[in-house]
């Protein structure tokens, strides 16, 4: 029995387990596999996910074709630098020399007596990802000790490490 003798659903399931490079090899193997891959929403979504370096949300209630359309729209917007919305966030004029932007959070040192080289705290704000969010509010971590620098692992561990 040959691969193409199997039912279409089984062929798609087999192809969906291949690495992207192997799937592209199948595209060039024969016209039938090319058409299967081109016409399969499952395979197209998997290809687009890997090319965009993003992961699927298995808990999504959206149909796969809707997720594929949204992913393609996101990638086109990213390539053309077309953003969905714009917002302004007031940053104090007495800014610091230590700052970071990571995982949708902007952090900036809180200078003592308007001296940008001496910080006793860190101000941070979660940046909005949708125009539906209200104006973001600043929060503060104050340790009343001189902060030399800070590091973050917000996405991985919800962690901000302050170096004093």
Instruction: Give the position of tokens 């691969």.
Output: 3
Predicted TM-score (pTM) of the model is 0.61
- Please enumerate in sequence order all residues whose Cβ is within 8 A of that of 87, keeping only pairs 6 or more positions apart, or say none: 128, 131, 135, 136
pLDDT of residue 93: 61
Say how many C-beta atoms besides its own lie within 10 A of residue 5's C-beta.
8
Q: Give the bridge partners for 147, in sequence order.
A: 119
**Which one, of 146, 148, 145, 152, lies nearest residue 124 by Cα?**
152
What DSSP character marks residue 50? H
Residue pair 125/106 in contact (Cβ under 8 Å)? The answer is yes
| Terminal Cα-to-Cα distance of the chain (whole angstroms) | 69
pLDDT tens digits in sequence order for the chain, 164 residues long = 888 999 999 999 999 999 999 999 988 989 999 999 999 999 999 999 999 999 998 889 999 999 999 999 999 998 998 887 888 888 876 667 888 888 888 988 888 777 767 888 888 998 888 788 788 889 988 888 888 888 888 878 888 888 88
């Amino acid at each position: 029995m040959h691969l193409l003798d199997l039912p279409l659903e089984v062929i798609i399931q087999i192809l969906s387990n291949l690495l992207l490079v192997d799937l592209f090899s199948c595209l060039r193997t024969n016209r039938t596999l090319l058409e299967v891959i081109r016409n399969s929403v499952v395979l197209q979504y998997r290809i687009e996910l890997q090319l965009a370096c993003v992961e699927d949300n298995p808990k999504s209630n959206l149909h796969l074709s809707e997720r594929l359309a949204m992913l393609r729209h996101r990638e086109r917007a990213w390539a053309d630098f077309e953003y969905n919305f714009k917002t302004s966030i007031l940053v104090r004029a007495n800014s610091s020399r230590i700052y970071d932007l990571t995982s949708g959070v902007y952090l900036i040192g809180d200078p003592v007596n308007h001296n940008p080289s001496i910080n006793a705290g860190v101000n941070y704000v979660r940046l909005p990802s949708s125009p539906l969010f209200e104006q973001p509010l600043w929060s503060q971590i104050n340790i009343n000790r001189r902060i030399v620098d800070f590091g973050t692992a917000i996405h991985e561990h919800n962690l901000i490490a302050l170096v004093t």
